Amino acid sequence: MIGGLAISALALCAPAAQAGTWTAVANTAPNGVNLMLLLSDGTVMAQQGGATNVWYKLTPDIHGSYVNGTWSTLASMHDTRLYGSSGVMSDGRVFIAGGEYGSGGSTAEVYDPVANTWTMTPSSGQSFSDSVSTVLPNGNVLVGPVGPSVSGGTVIFSWVTNTWSAGPTYVRGGYQDEASWVKLPDSSVLTIDPFGQNSERYIPSQNRWVDDSVVPVAMYDTTLSEIGAAVLLPTGKAFFLGDTGHTALYTPTGNTNPGSWAAGPDIPNGLGTADAPAAMMVNGSVLCAVGPKATYNGPTTLCEYNPYTNAFTVIGGPTGATDNVAPYGVRMLDLPDGSVLYANGGSRLYTYRPSDPQIASARPTVTNVAHNVDGSYQLTGTLLTGISEGAEYGDDAQMASNYPIVRLTASNGNVYYARTYRWNDTGVMKTGVNQTTQFSVPGSVPAGSYSLQIVTNGIASDPIPFPVSEAYFMIVNQNSGKCLDLINGNMANGAVTNQWSYDYNGPNQRWALQPTENGDHFKLISWVSGKAVSVSNDSTGAGAQLWDWDYNGDSSQQWDLVDAGNGWYYIRNVRSGLVMDVSNSSTADNAMVQQWTPNQSGAQKWRLQPWGSYFIRAASGKYVCIQGAGSANGSPIIQYQQENNPWFKWQFTSEGDGFYGLFSLNAPSRVLCVVNGSSAAAANTHLWDYNVNNAGDQKIRIWPKTSGKFKFYFGHDNMSWDIPGGATGNNVNLQQYPDNGYPWQEFSLERTP
């Protein structure tokens, strides 16, 4: 079986197809567009039409709209190319090889979207020309050169080692010129051999091609020897469109035994597919471009194939009943917003949005998001690589988009995309199988609470809460000087959270202090696991061990901070009323951290040390910085519109007890200080040489609020850091002032990129 129950469920849940809606992309591309690829940060890279080396990028607007997106120009390839191999690899880089036209017929190169650079691969010794290709489950790229160095041979490019190796030869030799490959649920790759009715499959686990069944109808025309696209359907069958006007459906076995073929419905109006794209849509239907058989002439007719009724419906084109171009010049791409991007060789692009909703049972799921040591994240879930490859074309272009896209939506509706990379699999329809991806959040994403969704080929998961740029703390015990630690970085539910020696560089000791959903309490979330510090078995008894567990909203996972004086806190469990405690006041590594009856001992007092460097945002929305990018003694500390510069960045260093010095990254030996050590209300603050024996005018204690904001109190007079009168303008000096409860005495901490 190949996940038969899940595949059946996809079919049963699908609605009947109805015609969708065409919308013109508001801004034209800088030039005509041909091949389009979805990058793993949600942007689209598009090659200029013809045999060129020019690439453009379409970036969606702040609301996630591609229709209202903007165009920019990317770095140019080394070689010019038209028609060849293309795909996005497991690390998010782009692989391009060959070209039926242009200077790159025998070369390949890789695009790095982060660096915006192209790098030639080593020579493969092949003549690729218009070679077909696919990304394998391990992330390597299988390519079928038109002029292979070994008769009937393939080659494999390793994205890890940047090397080529020989792949297996086809069952019947020859080559796969004009062929279309489609990835099946068992990760095998199916093709109809040119130019007849035999089929075969590539088996990745065995690195060999195996013979398969005979197709019951001819698919390649006898004039041009062309065929159309091949798409995996939500039913688990593969669907091929032919330039004879016929279609064919393949039912896989899920193993190396041959599958079964059946004739599908003929393409309407006697039309065919002499090179033409198709795109699997979020409702399960396939958008198809078709045209006159056995000719490279137009016009292009658009239709939908419904796999549940096994029937075509002709729909209108983007500007009329048909599109006055030849189908071979059309390209499609599945977008994260659920639409299909359509290019016909011109600079005006269009989107097609099906009227029916996405297939509910095809949604990805997110089961866990955890921090990596470098500040990125690992996301775990199911169906991260989708139920199909998305849009298809054939040997002249591949634009598979079956990889996870991370979409972040703010409460005001603004949409941002993270960059995903190192997907652990590129298979399709991996029902019930845990998959992972790494992702990083751009520094341009404002701090705040977001809804995170995984989107694959436009099909989105249910949203989960996700905080961006939040503060992380080391939770340090007064008695032992050791820290609350997720022992051995264990990410499983039930992993113990004991104490361990202070390690500023140790990710196991970093905890986010997140407000609960009702804003009344806190939850302590591990950087490593993304799970919450919880009382074992929801116990209310003294001596119950603390452990790490998926947050579920239970009060045994919620905590209050109780002032213990001088910047120390009792951390009290909401369910039990007991406090966090080191068993038997131990000072040893790995001593158990438990809940215990309050006794005011040092084993129950904890300080919160911010980890990393931060932007500090005032209630006005401005950010705390040093005026004029100063670094000298006496430089005023002001609020100003945010810039990503060192004079906006701050780091907290322990000053004994629960107090901290706030050091500037622009002047690492200088610290926030009250002018002249004054104890007067409205005394300004500035930058000054750090003095280890300061009277407290260079020390602050931190008071977290359940709103997610923080108050800062000076050590010498217990006054609050303050924006005078709540002023909102630039260049306003920060001062100290008695605590008055106004919002301009509260600040947000946003970790720097």
Domain ranges of the chain: 4-18+36-362, 472-609, 612-751
pLDDT of residue 18: 56
What is the rounded distance in angstroms from the CA atom of residue 336 to the CA atom of residue 693? 57
Identify the three-state secondary structure at position 328.
helix
| CATH fold match for the domains 472-609 and 612-751 | yes
Give the three-state DSSP class for 522: strand
For tokens 């040092």, the residue is 602
Q: What are phi and psi of 584, to 5 degrees?
A: 55, 25
Report, at the CATH architecture level, how domain 472-609 is classified.
Answer: Trefoil (2.80)
Taking a C-beta distance cutoff of 8 angstroms, is the pair 165, 116 a contact?
no
pTM to 2 decimal places: 0.81
Domain 612-751, CATH among 2.80.10.50, 3.40.50.300, 3.10.180.10, 3.30.40.10: 2.80.10.50
189-192/199-203 β-pairing: antiparallel
439 Cβ partners below 8 Å, 6+ apart? 376, 377, 379, 404, 406, 418, 419, 420, 421
Are residues 497 and 544 in contact, defined by beta-carbon separation less than 8 angstroms? no
Q: In whole angstroms, give the CA distance from residue 142 to residue 127.
A: 15
- 3-state SS, residue 583: helix
What's the token pair of residue 603? 């084993």
Distance of alpha carbon 160 from alpha carbon 91, whole angstroms: 9
Q: Which residues contact 700 (CB under 8 A, 6 or more apart)?
A: 659, 660, 661, 662, 672, 712, 713, 714, 715, 721
Please state, in angstroms and rounded to a whole number, the distance separating the CA atoms of residues 537 and 551.
Answer: 13
> If the chain, 753 residues long, is cut into consecutive pieces of 10 residues, what is the mean pLDDT of each piece?
33 50 98 98 98 99 98 99 98 98 98 97 97 96 96 97 98 95 98 98 98 99 98 98 99 98 99 98 98 98 98 97 98 99 98 93 93 84 98 97 97 94 97 96 81 98 88 96 95 94 94 87 91 97 97 95 97 98 98 98 98 93 96 98 93 94 96 97 98 93 92 97 97 97 94 82
Contact 309, 41 (CB under 8 A): no
Buried b (16+ CB within 10 A) or exposed e, 127-155: ebbbbbbbbbbebbbbbbbbebeeebbbb
DSSP count for the chain of H helices, then E strands: 1, 63
Strands (E), 401-521: 405-410, 415-417, 419-421, 434-440, 448-456, 459-460, 464-468, 472-477, 483-486, 495-500, 511-515
Q: What is the pLDDT of residue 484?
A: 98
β-strand pairing of 559-565 with 448-456: unpaired
Q: Which two tokens stand for residue 281?
A: 């849509």
CATH number, span 4-18+36-362: 2.120.10.80
Helix (H, G, I), strand (E, B) or coil at 581: strand
Distance of CA 78 to the CA centre of its chain: 29
Please identify which residue in the block is written with the tokens 């996700």: 466
d(CA 7, CA 429): 8
SS3 419: strand
Contact status, residue 548 vs residue 526, Cβ threshold 8 Å: yes
CA-wise closest residue to 65 among 421, 407, 457, 442? 407
* Contact present, 290 and 242 (Cβ < 8 Å): no
301 within 8 A of 411, measured Cβ to Cβ: no
Distance CA 301, CA 327 (A): 8
H/E element, 12: helix 4-13
Closest to 744 in 3D by CA, of 724, 718, 730: 724
